[in-house]
A and B are shown apart, each in its own frame.
Chain A
Amino acid sequence: MFKGLIVIILTSIVVDNYVLTKFLGICPFLGVSKKVGPACGMGIAVTFVMLLATAATYPIYYYLLARFELEYLQTIVFILVIASLVQLVEIILKKYIPSLHKSLGIYLPLITTNCAVLGVASNNISDGYVFIESMASSLGCGLGFLLAMVLFAGVRSRVEAANPPKCFRGMPITLVSASIVALTFYGFQGVIENLFA
C-alpha cells in the first residue's frame, strides 16, 4: 500500500508530469515563469488547491453524484465546487492567516480556471483511485507542477539574456526552450516501474 502510494506520487511528478507531458496548466506555466520567486509561489498555491479540490470532489462524486446516478453532471459540479472552494479559502486566509494570504493569496483567484486542477479532479475519478490514492496523485501532480515551474523559470532567465532571431523573440523562443525541458523529462520513462522491481 505504502509502496503503491510512493509509486503514484513519483510517477505523477516525473513521468506523467502534468505540464510537460500532459499539457495541463500551460497558461500559468508560460505566464508566471519569468522569475523563480513567483513561479515557486504559483507552484505551491496550485499544489495546495489541487489537494483541497480532490479532498472535496472525491466524496461529492462518490457519495452524491454516483449514488443518485448523476455522473453526467460531473463537469458542472466540479468546476463550481473548485471555484467556490478557492473563494472560500481566500476569504479564510485573508481573515485568519494574513501573512500566508500575502504570499499565496494573489495566485489563488487565477487558479480557479486552471485546467490542471479540474484535470486532476476528473483524472482521479476516471483512473478509479481510492481516496488516499487520489490524494497522493494530487500531491504528486502539484509537486510536479512546482518542479516544472521552478526548473523552467531558471532556464527562462538564461533565455531572456540570449539574442534570438527577431521573429522568435518572446513566446516562440520560450516554447522552444519548453520543448527542450520537456525532452529531459522523457529520460524518466520506465525508471519508476523498475525502481521497486
Chain B
Amino acid sequence: MSVWKNFIKGIIKENPVLVLLLGTCPTLAMTDSVSKAFGMGVAATVVLICSNMAISALRNVIPDKVRIPCYIVLIAGFVTVVEMVMHAYLPDLYEAMGVFLSLIVVNCIILGRAEMYASKNRVFDSAVDAVGMGIGFTLALLCMSTVREIFGAGSWMGMEIPFIKDHTVGILTMSPGGFFVFGVLIAVVNKLTGHRKRSEAGGCAGCPGAALCMKNGCSEREGEGK
C-alpha cells in the first residue's frame, strides 16, 4: 500500500470513530465544546503516534502471549507523559478534561491500532497509520463538537455567535444530546457512503477482547451498519 493511501484511509475510509465505531466514550464525553474535543484529539493522536512507533519497533521482542499487557504498559507510559505536559502547560484544559485524559489508556482506537497494525508492520508505516488515524479521530470529534457547541451553547471555541446564542438548544450540550448527535452523524455518514460494506477492521475486531466477545452477542454489532 502506498504511503499516501495508508495515510488517507484513517481519515475517510476507515475513520476510527464514524466508520469503525471505536473510542465512543471520549467521542461522546469530550464533544460538548470544541476546545475540549480538540485537546482530546491532539492528546490521543500524540499517544497513538508514540505507542504505534514503539510497539512496531518492539514487535519482534514482545512475546505473543503477553502482548496485550505489554501494550497497555507502553500506552499508559505515554499517556502519563502527555498528562504531565498538559498539566504543566495547559492547566485549564487539563481540569476540563479530567478523568478522560487518563482514560486514553483504555481507548480502543489506540489498543486496536497496536493490535491490528503496529504489531505487524514497519515503524515508518505504523507512524503514518497513526497520524492518519489520529487526524481522522480529531476531525470526527471536531465535526461533532462544532454541531453541539454551535447549537447547544451558541458559540464556537468560546466565541459567541450573534443570532444563535439567543436561541440555543441546551439539551445538545448535555448527555442525551451527545448520543443523539452521534447517532445522526453516523446515519449521515452511512447515507453519504451508500452503506458500503465495512472493511475487516470494523467494530469488534479492533477490540482486544474480541475473540471472547464473539461468543456472547457482541459479534452481532459487527453486522450492523452494513
A residues near B (Cβ < 8 Å) are: 20-27, 30-32, 34-35, 38, 72-76, 79-80, 83, 106-107, 109-110, 112-115, 118-119, 122-123, 126, 165-176, 178-180, 182-183, 186
Contact = CB atoms under 8 A, between A and B. Distances in A.
A26 B175 contact: no
B214 to A, nearest CB: 11
Nearest to B191: A167
Contacts of B176: 179-180, 182-183, 186
Contacts of B107: 115
Contact of A21 (B175, B204, B220): B175
Contact of B175 (A30, A109, A110, A182): A182
What 4 pairs between A and B have smallest CB-CB spacing?
Answer: A175-B183, A170-B224, A179-B179, A23-B29
A24 B98 CA distance: 13
B182 A175 contact: yes
Interface residues of B, number: 56
Contact of B217 (A27, A34, A74): A34
A98 to B, nearest CB: 17
B215 interface: yes
A165 B187 CA distance: 9
Contact of A172 (B84, B186, B208, B213): B186
Interface in B21-75: 21, 24-25, 28-29, 69, 72-73
A162 B87 CA distance: 48
B188 interface: yes
Nearest to A166: B195
Given A27-B207, A31-B221, A175-B183, 9 more contacts: A24-B103, A32-B218, A75-B76, A76-B76, A106-B216, A113-B106, A113-B108, A171-B225, A172-B183
Interface string B154-175: 0000000000000000010011
Given A23-B29, A23-B175, A113 B99 contact: no
A76 B80 contact: yes
Contact of A182 (B21, B84, B179, B223): B179
B212 interface: yes
Given A80-B72, A110-B209, A179 B183 contact: yes
A38 B183 contact: no
Contact of A123 (B21, B99, B204): B99
